[in-house]
Amino acid sequence: MTATQPLELLAPLSGVLLALDKVPDPVFSSRLIGDGLCIDPTSQTLCAPLAGVISNIQDSGHALSITADNGVQVLLHIGLDTVNLAGQGFTRRVQEGQRVEAGQALVEFDADYVALNARSLLTLMLVVSGEPFTVLATDLVQTGQPLMQLSPAPSAQALDEEAGDALFSKPVTLPNANGLHARPAGVFAQAAKGFTASIYLHKQTQSANAKSLVAIMALQTMQGDSLQVSAAGEDAEAAINVLAALLADGCGEAVTRTAEPVATVSSTTLLRGVCASPGSAFGQVVQVTEPELNIAETGAGEALERAALARGLRTATEALQAQAAGGVQADIFRAHQQLLEDPTLLDQAHGLLAEGKSAAFAWNRATVATAKLFQGSGNALLAERAADLADVGQRVLKLILGIADSAWDLPERAILIAEQLTPSQTAGLDTRKVLGFVTVGGGATSHVAILARALGLPAICGVSAQVLGLANGKQVLLDADKGELHLDPDLADIEQREAARQQQALRHQRDVAQAFLPATTRDGHHIEVTANVASLQEVEQSLSLGGEGVGLLRSEFLYLDRNRAPSPDEQAATYTAIARALGGERNLVVRTLDVGGDKPLAYVPMEAETNPFLGLRGIRLCLERPHLLREQFRAILASAGFARLHIMLPMVSLLSELHLARAMLEEEALALGLTELPKLGIMVEVPSAALMADVFAPHVDFFSIGTNDLTQYTLAMDRDHPRLASQADSFHPAVLRLIDATVKAAHAHGKWVGVCGALASEALAVPVLIGLGVDELSVSVPLIPSIKANVRERDLADCQLIARQVLGLEEAGQVREALRLYHAAAVETLPVVEH
């Protein structure tokens, strides 16, 4: 066969053919792993769709891939969530590395057992090497009938032959600390798909289809690799220029540019990462490593091993309960407890115990497999929860193996360096000795980052693995705000930063001491400062920091770690506990589920969408699934009477959405026998809601402006786009004008307006928001004292002046500059504060 000959793939099963979009699992329907087809099987033997070598087969037999001689790789995956069956119901007929013929039997499965015990029998056939294909069949298919026709990627030899026609970029030295892993590879493949040319990425003698995420990841690139892009076709030249520049820039990741030779191994003076928790610290390197654990596979008898697992789980649960009762971010440890009770995880471990495996082996295998599944889900939030599962997995494993979790013996002024810290390790850090930490893994939204912020510890993550080679005791400067670790810091620089840090700390101390003073401007105008929360624990923390209520309860975050929906009683108990904590005199604004966009929720499966931010998000999804909204309304209504209850609808763009939701709320309240409805308001986060605020105003009790989304929808810039981050700025006059329009319309109808987007938590924005007439600032919990102090330093009249001025500016940068100047002038006129 020559490289360009089409290749026919046979149906691996008999059954009903479905498009991938119909698969109720975003991992597959989003095509993250690869494009392909789905079959709802009527036969029970999975056969090879093409000849090749079994390049991978899961021990459990539910998934395998075949690689043909010309590089085409096809993944076959039987059922959804079948990994949890740990091999039960599957019989493998082939081994990894074995050559198979098209049509050969690969795996037999018990369709009844799988259908009863897994989420679905739907079976996927995905072309993970990325070749385009046409489908040759419709509806019903029989095993062995032609199903797809592919145009395979050219072989290495063919690439050489074609090279005459193709253009090649100059070699690019890969700057990414961890090579082209999923995220940068995804950015690169996405960019490549924007060109019609056929494009390849080359590493030495290997080549990958640049439009295939999996093919790029399979190249296993590393920092410092020399890569080239080739392209053949109409827009080849443009493709080469754009893609080579993208590679050199890190494909959306913060990188040390290789053009500036700061980061060679011997002469590195600076390592970069991503800010996980702000601040800076000067201290000494302390490398923390975890010992290797010795896990025997075979057990000493099922009963003994079952008892060992049960003991480990019980002791871990008790320890987690103690941590949740006293420590920071208790909800994280409660979530860990729930992971220990997860029935799929336990079933998997027990299945392995029944096969004679040891408790340690069974538990480890179950947690590692599930964590991998989370990681590969294509869902950023779930992927970060994989770290929690690994953490709680290790905790139990050590208990089973009888390994004491010795507290680290740390020197003073320690800057911890680790491959990855776990949430338990982070929560247990002695902040008298630890000044900050740096990790190779992790992300800015991980629980470790949340804990670091709660502890006030500066931290950066995603740093090159080079950091693991730094000598213990080396003096370094961690500038987490900039995401930098300085290995050879300048003394004057350190002193300057230290002075700034001390001033900041003193100011913070003063703000916390005065946190219970009202947020009233010097000329007597009161602003309500409330909290953005996602748990009861944050509500309690906000009250201890002078919070005047809850301006935004992000209800979708209450049950983030769940695979199943919480029961109605459980939901009602959560809202009631939060309302009780606030008491009858404070506002509680509960936002109904804002799922979709960047916030998938494991127990609300959704079909993949081309533009999720413009799709079924927030109130749109809830109106499509009214049972979800009605159930949530009932649970929220259970808390009526314990606090001043407000219900808020997210992502409203049409008046009809408000009317529909209000009608449902009224019906549910009536059914519960409530005579008084809670206040009902909407988030203003879509330009149409801001522009039509005068039309909405008679029908709502309040507005709360979500500047995060309002900015992305006003400027048409994805709020998570790595390359647009600096431009998608809520200080843009267009966003401020929409806030202005909303406030004017609301006040004309006697309704109040809050801002709950991140703009409200920005010190620089406080005067402009006061000046525009915003009544409430709902802010991130730790910032409550400083935002209240900020308000107390203002004059309403001055704020109105500066607000009018900035509305007339051209861009966000000018607004920020004007506000900085205003701030500096205002600070100069402030009375000197006694400490």
Q: Binding to ligand PEP by residue 357, rule CB under 6 A?
A: no
User: Nearest approach, Cβ of 338 to ligand PEP (angstroms)?
Assistant: 23
Interacting stretch for ligand PEP, rule CB under 6 A, among 318-326, 413-421, 453-461, 701-709?
701-709
Beta bridge partners of 125: 37, 76
Interacting stretch for ligand PEP, rule CB under 6 A, among 36-44, 150-158, 702-710, 721-729?
702-710
Q: Report what 358 binds from Mg ion, ligand PEP, none; CB cut-off 5-8 Å by kind.
A: none
CB nearer ligand PEP, residue 66 or residue 756: 756
User: Nearest approach, Cβ of 116 to ligand PEP (angstroms)?
Assistant: 38
CB nearer Mg ion, residue 208 or residue 710: 710
**How many residues bind to ligand PEP according to rule CB under 6 A?**
10
Report how far residue 386's alpha carbon sits from residue 118's, in angstroms, rounded to the nearest whole number. 21
Helix (H) or strand (E) holding 150: strand 146-150
Report how far residue 601's alpha carbon sits from residue 742's, in angstroms, rounded to the nearest whole number. 30
Residue nearest Mg ion, Cβ-based: 709
Q: What is the residue whose two structure tokens read 């149409």?
A: 688
447 annotated active-site: yes
Beta bridge partners of 529: 777
Interacting stretch for Mg ion, rule CB under 5 A, among 191-199, 321-329, 398-406, 707-715?
707-715
DSSP 434-497: EEEEEESS--TTSHHHHHHHHHT--EEES--GGGGGSPTT-EEEEEGGGTEEESS--HHHHHHH
User: Nearest approach, Cβ of 759 to Mg ion (angstroms)?
Assistant: 12
Q: Binding to Mg ion by residue 154, rule CB under 5 A?
A: no
Q: Binding to ligand PEP by residue 685, rule CB under 6 A?
A: yes
Q: Binding to ligand PEP by residue 179, rule CB under 6 A?
A: no
Q: Report what 756 binds from Mg ion, ligand PEP, none; CB cut-off 5-8 Å by kind.
A: ligand PEP
CB nearer ligand PEP, residue 127 or residue 683: 683
Q: Binding to ligand PEP by residue 398, rule CB under 6 A?
A: no
- Chosen residue from 707, 742, 786, 790 binding ligand PEP by CB under 6 A: 707
Enter the tokens of residue 103.
């049509």
Helix (H) or strand (E) holding 368: helix 359-375
Q: Report what 707 binds from ligand PEP, Mg ion, none; CB cut-off 5-8 Å by kind.
A: ligand PEP
Q: Report what 554 binds from ligand PEP, Mg ion, none; CB cut-off 5-8 Å by kind.
A: ligand PEP
Residues 576-613 as b/e (b if ≥16 CB within 10 A, e otherwise) read bebbebbeeebbbbbbbbbbbbbbbbbebebebbeebb
Of residues 75-114, those binding ligand PEP (CB under 6 A): none
Report how far residue 290's alpha carbon sits from residue 425's, in angstroms, rounded to the nearest whole number. 11
- Chosen residue from 131, 391, 685, 776 binding Mg ion by CB under 5 A: 685
User: Nearest approach, Cβ of 554 to ligand PEP (angstroms)?
Assistant: 5
Interacting stretch for ligand PEP, rule CB under 6 A, among 233-241, 248-256, 361-369, 704-712?
704-712
3-state secondary structure of 293: coil
CB nearer Mg ion, residue 548 or residue 685: 685
- Chosen residue from 546, 678, 706, 773 binding Mg ion by CB under 5 A: 706
Enter the tokens of residue 218.
């399979």
Enter the tokens of residue 798.
């001055």
756 annotated active-site: yes
One character per residue 211-230, x = contact with ligand PEP (rule: CB under 6 A): --------------------
Range list of β-strands (E), 516-625:
528-533, 549-554, 587-591
CB nearer Mg ion, residue 484 or residue 685: 685
Query: 55 φ, ψ to 5°?
Result: -85, -20
Range list of β-strands (E), 666-785:
679-684, 702-705, 752-755, 776-780
Interacting stretch for Mg ion, rule CB under 5 A, among 236-244, 606-614, 702-710, 785-793?
702-710
Q: Binding to ligand PEP by residue 756, rule CB under 6 A?
A: yes
The number of residues making up the chain comes to: 835
User: Nearest approach, Cβ of 597 to ligand PEP (angstroms)?
Assistant: 7
User: Nearest approach, Cβ of 618 to Mg ion (angstroms)?
Assistant: 7
Longest dimension (CA), the chain: 84
Report how far residue 811's alpha carbon sits from residue 638's, in angstroms, rounded to the nearest whole number. 46
Say which residues have a Cβ less than 8 Å from residue 351's Cβ, sequence separation at least 6.
85, 86, 87, 88, 362
Say which residues have a Cβ less than 8 Å from residue 386's Cβ, sequence separation at least 6.
371, 372, 374, 375
Which residue is catalytic, options 447, 486, 525, 646?
447
Please provide the distance, in angstroms rounded to a whole number, between the alpha carbons at the two ends of the chain: 82
User: Nearest approach, Cβ of 653 to ligand PEP (angstroms)?
Assistant: 13
Query: 616 φ, ψ to 5°?
Result: -80, 80
How far, in Å, are 67, 128, 148, 235, 769 from residue 133 at the CA level?
16, 12, 6, 22, 54
Report how far residue 465's alpha carbon sits from residue 420's, in angstroms, rounded to the nearest whole number. 11
Enter the tokens of residue 308.
């060992």
Q: Binding to ligand PEP by residue 594, rule CB under 6 A?
A: yes
Say which residues have a Cβ less than 8 Å from residue 29's Cβ, sequence separation at least 6.
20, 21, 22, 23, 607, 608
- Chosen residue from 149, 708, 727, 814 binding ligand PEP by CB under 6 A: 708
CB nearer ligand PEP, residue 121 or residue 755: 755
Q: Binding to ligand PEP by residue 554, rule CB under 6 A?
A: yes
Q: Report what 365 binds from ligand PEP, Mg ion, none; CB cut-off 5-8 Å by kind.
A: none
CB nearer ligand PEP, residue 283 or residue 706: 706
Say which residues have a Cβ less than 8 Å from residue 544's Cβ, sequence separation at least 6.
none
CB nearer ligand PEP, residue 713 or residue 822: 713
User: Nearest approach, Cβ of 530 to ligand PEP (angstroms)?
Assistant: 13
Interacting stretch for Mg ion, rule CB under 5 A, among 167-175, 190-198, 705-713, 819-827?
705-713
- Chosen residue from 249, 709, 775, 798 binding ligand PEP by CB under 6 A: 709
User: Nearest approach, Cβ of 618 to ligand PEP (angstroms)?
Assistant: 8
How far, in Å, are 173, 236, 410, 695 from residue 170 at the CA level?
10, 14, 48, 57
Q: Binding to ligand PEP by residue 754, rule CB under 6 A?
A: no
Report how far residue 800's alpha carbon sits from residue 807's, in angstroms, rounded to the nearest whole number. 11
Interacting stretch for ligand PEP, rule CB under 6 A, among 305-313, 351-359, 455-463, 700-708?
700-708
Q: Which residues are catalytic?
A: 447, 756
In the complex, which residues of this chain contact Mg ion (CB under 5 A)? 685, 706, 709
In the complex, which residues of this chain contact ligand PEP (CB under 6 A)? 552, 554, 594, 685, 706-709, 756-757
